[in-house]
């Protein structure tokens, strides 16, 4: 599968995401925020970083980047889209995912190896995991607190849209320990921790993040 | 020249860590009696001509689509009198 990785001004995990896509068995295609063209990709990753300097709100300005018009349209048609960290924030600002992300409740930037539980493995990004599987991947964020109003929170819990939950510690004050969510259709996924940094033993504490990138290949084969 | 001000505030039910940090600093500086601080954003938007209803409708749209995130924030739009009549700030 051809997986596009968008580079915004301020993206910093785009090349890691491209590498993770390749290690996961797919072809990585670099996409540029100013180019309103997805170049025939089958899926899109919005990587971590500080798009447009996080001015205004994280992801608020990048939501209106030319490429995002195409991403939003493709996502509505069912294309798999994964937003990691800043990418998660962009997906919330784009209204492709419910809720919003605010500054960590303890107000500090946090960087740690984080234990998660995969709650929903029925998405194109998590099918390689078992339901309830616990994985440890890198987490680093300053505005990673997931919030939503009570009605939205009840709906995403009830519909199984919680993708992953923090275990051991809640690193940022996210409601219901939510680390990642998916949309109603299940093709759009937002995740605050960084699976793309946990795909090789050489540079990470493990390879538990690889499943996010091998799931796509499995989805094609099945 | 005319100015429209959009004030954006986190919704009351949303945690405001920045406001909390400020609130925590005030007593350390000797300011007592503060029970809560919320931190928001203020946008000053300048226009060449008069502020008509059409202009205000446009500002409202700006506030709704870009300046605020309706999921976590509320906003108000006010027209500011031209020139600085009785500004108390420095």
Taking only the tens place, the pLDDT of each residue in A190-206 is 999 999 999 999 887 89
Query: Has residue A18 got a pLDDT over 90?
Result: yes
- Name residues whose C-beta falls within 8 Å of residue A90's C-beta, 6 or more positions apart in sequence: A46, A51, A58, A59, A62, A63, A68, A83
Query: Has residue B17 got a pLDDT over 80?
Result: yes
Average pLDDT over every residue of A58-80: 97
User: Is A95 designated active site?
Assistant: no
Name every chain A residue with its beta carbon within 8 A of the beta carbon of B18.
103, 107
Q: Nearest CA to A125 among A172, A95, A88, A168?
A: A88
ipTM: 0.87
User: Is A184 designated active site?
Assistant: no
Question: Confidence class of residue B13 from pLDDT cuts 50, 70 and 90?
Answer: very high
Environment class of residue B57 by beta-carbon count within 10 Å: exposed (0-12), middle (13-18) or buried (19+)? exposed
Taking only the tens place, the pLDDT of each residue in A160-186 is 999 999 999 999 999 999 999 999 999
Name every chain A residue with its beta carbon within 8 A of the beta carbon of B25.
none
Judging by DSSP bridges, how do beta strands A43-46 and A81-84 pair with one another? parallel
CB contact under 8 A, A56 and B14: no
Taking only the tens place, the pLDDT of each residue in A35-56 is 999 999 999 999 999 999 999 9
What's the pLDDT score for residue A24?
96
Question: Confidence class of residue B90 from pLDDT cuts 50, 70 and 90?
Answer: low
Task: Give the global pTM.
Answer: 0.94
Alpha helices per DSSP H over chain A? 14-23, 66-77, 86-93, 150-158, 211-221
CB contact under 8 A, B20 and A147: no
From CA A23, how far away is CA A43, in angstroms rounded?
16
């Amino acid at each position: 599968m051809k997986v596009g990785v968008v580079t915004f001004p301020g993206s910093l995990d785009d090349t890691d995401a491209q590498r993770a896509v390749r290690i996961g068995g797919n072809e990585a295609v670099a996409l540029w925020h100013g180019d309103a063209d997805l170049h025939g990709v089958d899926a899109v990753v919005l990587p971590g970083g500080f798009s447009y300097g996080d001015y205004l709100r994280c992801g608020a300005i990048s939501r209106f980047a030319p490429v995002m018009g195409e991403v939003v349209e493709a996502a509505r048609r069912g294309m798999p889209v994964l937003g990691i960290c800043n990418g998660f924030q962009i997906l919330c600002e784009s209204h492709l995912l419910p809720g919003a992300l605010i500054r960590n409740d303890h107000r500090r930037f946090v960087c740690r190896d984080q234990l998660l539980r995969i709650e929903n493995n029925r998405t194109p990004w998590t099918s390689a995991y078992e339901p309830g599987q616990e994985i440890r991947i890198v987490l680093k964020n300053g505005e990673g607190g997931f919030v939503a109003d009570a009605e939205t929170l009840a709906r995403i819990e009830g519909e199984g849209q919680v993708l992953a939950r923090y275990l051991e510690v809640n690193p940022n004050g996210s409601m219901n320990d939510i680390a990642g969510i998916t949309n109603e259709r299940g093709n759009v996924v937002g995740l605050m921790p960084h699976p793309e940094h946990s795909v090789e033993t050489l540079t990470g504490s493990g390879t538990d993040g690889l499943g996010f990138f091998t799931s796509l290949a499995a989805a094609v084969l099945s | 020249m005319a100015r429209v001000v959009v004030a954006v505030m986190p919704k009351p039910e949303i945690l405001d860590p920045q406001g909390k940090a400020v609130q925590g600093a005030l007593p350390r500086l000797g300011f007592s009696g503060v029970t809560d601080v919320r931190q928001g954003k203020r946008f000053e938007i300048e226009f060449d001509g008069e502020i008509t209803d059409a202009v205000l409708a446009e500002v409202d749209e700006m506030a709704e689509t870009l300046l605020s995130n309706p999921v976590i924030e509320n906003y108000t739009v006010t027209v500011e009198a031209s020139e600085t009549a009785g500004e108390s700030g420095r």
